[in-house]
């Protein structure tokens, strides 16, 4: 529907039926809240929004939409209206709010400028945000409804600064800091706390439920370091033997046998000198000269727990 400033609409109207039908299908009767605009049109919903649909009044005598009939003629207590009218609405209504006269408003010019409304935005992480381990997320709430959407920074700034290009009087803005790195459980708790803080500070009931418990959204899991090689003197296997060969470092389990991490069981490695650096690449000999690694089939989980 076209945009109408609140100064040009009459809100809070209601019909129990028998008065209006939908313009897109004149056979469907409308019941419920509606509002009237300054140019004599009617729309569904209590306030103007993107769900509003135009409805047209019914002639109470014929039961037909007034759009399909000629306007009343003769003396029917019709008020004369000239082009230089001073009110917002140039139409005349009966005691039920139905249009009984539509004036010629071709010379009417409104000073109102069209304004945009906030639209949904889905964040795309930048390299800087990934490096910093966090981002700022922006949101807005309709002033008269418990509807929340995520927006971009440009829209947030426009609402905050009450820009004339956006319907700032119909939407309230807010932002929060969103963590994407660190201990996963801690990230969850911090992001959840940020959402609850906004909910309490701005009095936005149910805002924390907007995230549907996805407080680790965009979380960046630590990478497994793979294709590392030791020529000895760094690790021992669960049976206490010195390990020589390829290994990888799991972000949670530590060093493990094998060049890459896999789902089947494989042994954990115990550092001989825990203070020695464990992530530097050593010169890698040709695979044909490497001794075979310890068995990766069965047990061997002493001193290190499971190895998945």
**Within its chain, how far is the Cα of 137 from the centroid?**
10
- What's the count of helices (H) and strands (E) in the chain, helices before strands? 3, 14
> Band of the pLDDT at 47, cuts 50, 70, 90?
confident
The two tokens of residue 199 are 């909910």
- Per-domain boundaries in the chain: 6-101, 127-211, 225-289
* Tally of CB atoms within 10 A around 50: 9
Residue 198 has pLDDT above 90, yes or no: yes
Q: Tens of pLDDT along 87-115?
A: 344 455 554 555 555 555 555 555 667 89
Average of per-residue pLDDT values in the chain: 77
> Band of the pLDDT at 4, cuts 50, 70, 90?
low
What average pLDDT does the segment 295-308 reach?
39
Strands (E), 213-286: 225-230, 235-236, 245-250, 254-257, 270-271
**Cβ atoms of 267 and 243 closer than 8 Å:** no
CA torsion, ordered 114, 117, 122, 125, to nearest 10 deg: 60
More confident residue, 77 or 132: 132
More confident residue, 304 or 45: 45
Q: Strand pairing partners for 174?
A: 139
CA torsion, ordered 194, 197, 201, 206, to nearest 10 deg: 100
pTM beyond cutoff 0.95: no
Q: Tens of pLDDT along 251-290?
A: 777 899 998 888 788 899 998 864 434 443 344 444 444 4
First to last CA, the chain: 57
Residues 6+ apart with CB under 8 A from 72: 78, 100, 101
**Cβ atoms of 65 and 56 closer than 8 Å:** yes
């Amino acid at each position: 529907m076209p945009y109408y400033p609140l100064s040009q609409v009459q809100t809070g109207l209601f019909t129990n039926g028998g008065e209006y039908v939908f313009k897109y299908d004149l056979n469907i009767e409308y019941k419920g809240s509606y509002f009237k605009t300054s140019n004599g049109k009617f729309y569904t919903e209590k306030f103007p929004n993107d769900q509003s649909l135009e409805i047209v009044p019914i002639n109470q005598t014929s039961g037909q939409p007034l759009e399909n009939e000629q306007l009343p003629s003769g003396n029917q207590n019709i008020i004369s209206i000239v082009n230089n009218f001073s009110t917002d609405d140039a139409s005349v209504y009966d005691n039920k709010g139905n249009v009984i006269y539509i004036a010629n408003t071709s010379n009417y010019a409104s000073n109102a400028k069209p304004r945009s409304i906030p639209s949904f935005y889905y964040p795309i992480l930048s390299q800087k945000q990934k490096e910093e381990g966090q981002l700022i997320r922006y949101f807005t709430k309709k002033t008269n409804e418990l509807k929340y959407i995520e927006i971009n920074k440009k829209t947030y700034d426009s609402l905050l600064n009450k820009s004339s290009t956006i319907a700032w009087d119909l939407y309230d803005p807010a932002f929060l800091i969103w963590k994407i790195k660190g201990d996963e459980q801690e990230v969850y708790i911090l992001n959840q706390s940020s959402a609850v803080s906004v909910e309490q500070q701005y009095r936005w009931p149910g805002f924390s439920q907007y995230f549907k418990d996805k407080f680790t959204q965009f979380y960046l899991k630590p990478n497994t370091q793979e294709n590392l090689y030791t020529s000895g003197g760094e690790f021992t296997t669960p049976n206490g033997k010195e390990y020589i060969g390829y290994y990888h470092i799991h972000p949670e389990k530590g060093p493990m046998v094998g060049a890459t991490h896999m789902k089947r069981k494989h042994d954990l490695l115990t550092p001989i000198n825990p203070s020695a650096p464990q992530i530097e690449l050593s010169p890698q000999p040709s695979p044909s000269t490497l001794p075979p690694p310890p068995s990766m089939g069965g047990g061997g989980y002493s001193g290190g727990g499971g190895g998945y």
